[in-house]
Structure 1
């Protein structure tokens, strides 16, 4: 009696690849956003608040719901991943060296980005070519401080959760990723020191991490739909009208971002023997989500996943480097943006910057992102730069009109850098899984049933 082995079953793809789905979402988002903008507001309420039309409201709800879901999974993911990764670091040789080289590459890429920003600011002179009126100048409600770094390091509680009262009496709950990072590192190191007695705890941590990752998988499946809402809301709300008066400034920002993303990063990849195409196709889910969500922290779960599963970075190292990068590695928000913006403010108000001032811009851009890690928003980083240089903070008000449009590109570059550095460090240390990095991309964010999911 002969037996024959059944041919392996293959699943038929009913939907386009994940990357194509996101591209379709981007196109639909722009189209629906333009339609919503043409529809105009439904009217003005009794208290003077403009009521958005039903399409704008729908797009806003779809996009904000997805970002809320992503942010909800971030605290447990960061804590569990960091604790588990530190416990696994005993299996990785040279853990301390990996940490220092990661920080070094963060600084190197930030320095390159800020130099590009300074050069573009001096060449394009955005402050002298601005059509914005000085009447729009206004100091922001909150500013950055070097003390933010120290206060941000001290956990307010073991969960890193903060509550604040809104003007209407409601209580808002937020979390501080840097504080969660500090708590997780402390717990992870303590688990290593305890030794065998901590094994039951680490078993629970690893099991919980698997559950959180499963939930994350379900959330990411909604990313193409969320792309429609997030980008559509941005187009409907802000449009592109404000770009006219600040066109030179906007061009300078996006030129700097493009140079970093499409020239500097590819050059670094090539110098380290890594395929440029494989990096961008592997990191695409995170980069595209960052562009529409405008949140490095909200995108962090996706960044971590593609860094491990598409770029071949060991999980133990990626679980440390990516969360750290999500709070301190910001080539867009903390390098390109504050450099060009500071030069814009100086030129607009007719103030001359000395060579020392440019050195200060570079210093704040390389170090300052860590100093403001406990505070969200690129505006905080900009105010820190302006106050360090002694420039008028009222200049921030001139730039707020188009900040959401610029923030899309800034965040995309941030996240690309957060995936790039772990890949480069892993390659240089000989721990990168080259087969995973070079694997053909399936077009999915990652495949749940594969040991080595891939993306495009």
Structure 2
């Protein structure tokens, strides 16, 4: 068969969009016609997809962090790059939380909702500064993996990575094994990622079946605030930083990073999206050795959506529902918690731990978390997309400032889309492509 007669590839972004549309249609049909078997099917499809993503999270985080730290030995000025990465993480988080607070103070998201304190309930999992600080260090090496405590896994991986750097050549066999295991995990996760369009249909359909459109009415202002806040960061702050600090074309950034952003939107998992995030980061010209450090680090600590915009708006929302007055001191505390406590979100779906951490610091009722649980899946989609975009922006910014960004690769990102990656090219890369 000639090339002109071959069936054209269906781009991955189009597959995701199709999954969204089908999910909305099936969810509406199942809810409006009360089709139980369809409701159950959508629930199971979405649940299985998320479970498959979570299955690889614990080992993926451990080996990704370990390898990323040891890869810094291959980079000149490694300490400077790591410091610059952390600084820009904090700067963008500071801007994001300021945007969240500003929108919340202007719109008063908790006013006129019809919700009352009795509508809230205590969350199953709570967070406080004491829990956060003491919870970093595990009591054993097994429990963090079985209970999926990402923060403790990151701690153990960091310790192992630093120890490996200190051992030097003696640790090389372990590093070689770790790199192989990481590549194996990413390969397996890639198979799961290929199922994203199907998973998308299930997740969106489940959300509509479970909540319908009526629920959104009570949370309309808060929902709009979070989507607007994330959009301002995603399409305002990030492009501005790229244009002024990195001095690169923001449009090229979105052409290259969009596969990771769209997968984050539907999967609601920064860690689950991490292989794709690393892939697009390298495609945008960030050196592989640096990207392999910055992306895993960012996937567990860089949360502009979940840890900055969301807790700021949610705190204002809950304070207004419970009729608690917030002052300058409380707003500054929200900023501090958001910038310093991002690691508490750990890159998993939802941001309950970060929210309870913020409410605890402010002295707000934790029952307020229960008010947000029903609407959380809808909010989490745009939050995670913002998280992942920030996890790509920062390495690009730092690389450009340090003069190590490959401008030719960056500018050609749209001419060499991830969808058309050649098998040989895929095999040479540790990170996973977005579509075959």
TM-score (structure 2 length as normaliser): 0.89
Asked if residue 341 in structure 1 is aligned to residue 335 in structure 2, the reply is no
Task: Pick one of 149, 155, 177 that aligns with 1:204.
Answer: 177
Answer with 134-143 or 248-257: which moved more. 134-143
Structure 1 residues 155, 232: CA separation in 2 closer, same or farther (over 3 Å shift)?
same
Structure 2 distance, partners of 1:69, 1:258, is 29
Structure 2 distance, partners of 1:174, 1:276, is 40
Q: Which residue of 2 aligns with 1:165?
A: none
The number of residues matched between the two structures is 426
CA contact (8 A) 2:301 2:347 kept: no
Q: Which residue of 2 aligns with 1:93?
A: 76
Task: Pick one of 25, 35, 39 that aligns with 2:29.
Answer: 35
Structure 1 distance, partners of 2:271, 2:420, is 18
Using the TM superposition, give the Cα deviation of residue 373 of structure 1 relative to its aligned residue in structure 2, in angstroms. 4.2
Asked if residue 220 in structure 1 is aligned to residue 193 in structure 2, the reply is yes
Q: Which residue of 2 aligns with 1:170?
A: none
Give runs of aligned pairs for residues 13-32 of structure 1, distance below 5 A.
14-32=8-26
Give runs of aligned pairs for residues 297-316 of structure 1, distance below 5 A.
297-308=271-282, 310-316=283-289
Q: Which residue of 1 aligns with 2:254?
A: 280
CA contact (8 A) 2:418 2:433 kept: yes
Q: 3-state DSSP class of the match of 1:161?
A: helix
Task: Pick one of 419, 424, 429 that aligns with 1:449.
Answer: 424
Using the TM superposition, give the Cα deviation of residue 363 of structure 1 relative to its aligned residue in structure 2, in angstroms. 0.9
Asked if residue 258 in structure 1 is aligned to residue 252 in structure 2, the reply is no
Asked if residue 151 in structure 1 is aligned to residue 143 in structure 2, the reply is no
Q: Which residue of 2 aligns with 1:353?
A: 326
Using the TM superposition, give the Cα deviation of residue 101 of structure 1 relative to its aligned residue in structure 2, in angstroms. 1.2
Q: Which residue of 2 aligns with 1:45?
A: none
Q: Which residue of 2 aligns with 1:4?
A: none
Deviations 1:367-419 (A, max 9, x none): 12235549974222222222222223333333333222111111111121122
Using the TM superposition, give the Cα deviation of residue 286 of structure 1 relative to its aligned residue in structure 2, in angstroms. 1.9
TM-score (structure 1 length as normaliser): 0.85
Structure 1 residues 369, 82: CA separation in 2 closer, same or farther (over 3 Å shift)?
closer
Using the TM superposition, give the Cα deviation of residue 454 of structure 1 relative to its aligned residue in structure 2, in angstroms. 7.2
Structure 1 residues 56, 447: CA separation in 2 closer, same or farther (over 3 Å shift)?
farther
Larger Cα-atom Rg: 1
Using the TM superposition, give the Cα deviation of residue 139 of structure 1 relative to its aligned residue in structure 2, in angstroms. 2.9
Using the TM superposition, give the Cα deviation of residue 124 of structure 1 relative to its aligned residue in structure 2, in angstroms. 0.7
CA contact (8 A) 1:149 1:373 kept: no
Structure 1 residues 285, 156: CA separation in 2 closer, same or farther (over 3 Å shift)?
farther
Q: 3-state DSSP class of the match of 2:312?
A: helix
Q: 3-state DSSP class of the match of 2:135?
A: helix
Structure 1 distance, partners of 2:223, 2:420, is 31
Q: Which residue of 2 aligns with 1:49?
A: none
CA contact (8 A) 2:44 2:202 kept: yes
Structure 1 residues 16, 60: CA separation in 2 closer, same or farther (over 3 Å shift)?
same
Structure 1 distance, partners of 2:349, 2:209, is 24
Unaligned stretches of 5+ in structure 1? 1-8, 42-52, 163-172
Asked if residue 125 in structure 1 is aligned to residue 108 in structure 2, the reply is yes
Structure 1 distance, partners of 2:420, 2:159, is 32
Structure 2 distance, partners of 1:386, 1:377, is 16
Q: Which residue of 2 aligns with 1:396?
A: 369
Using the TM superposition, give the Cα deviation of residue 63 of structure 1 relative to its aligned residue in structure 2, in angstroms. 2.3
Deviations 1:87-115 (A, max 9, x none): 33222011111111111111111111111
Structure 1 residues 366, 395: CA separation in 2 closer, same or farther (over 3 Å shift)?
same
Using the TM superposition, give the Cα deviation of residue 159 of structure 1 relative to its aligned residue in structure 2, in angstroms. 5.4
Asked if residue 293 in structure 1 is aligned to residue 267 in structure 2, the reply is yes
Q: Give the structure with the higher percent helix.
A: 2
Q: Which residue of 1 aligns with 2:295?
A: 322
Structure 2 distance, partners of 1:287, 1:244, is 27
Structure 1 distance, partners of 2:347, 2:64, is 19
Asked if residue 138 in structure 1 is aligned to residue 121 in structure 2, the reply is yes
CA RMSD of aligned residues (A): 2.6
Structure 2 distance, partners of 1:55, 1:28, is 13
Using the TM superposition, give the Cα deviation of residue 340 of structure 1 relative to its aligned residue in structure 2, in angstroms. 1.2
Structure 2 distance, partners of 1:328, 1:373, is 6
Unaligned stretches of 5+ in structure 2? none
CA contact (8 A) 1:17 1:442 kept: no
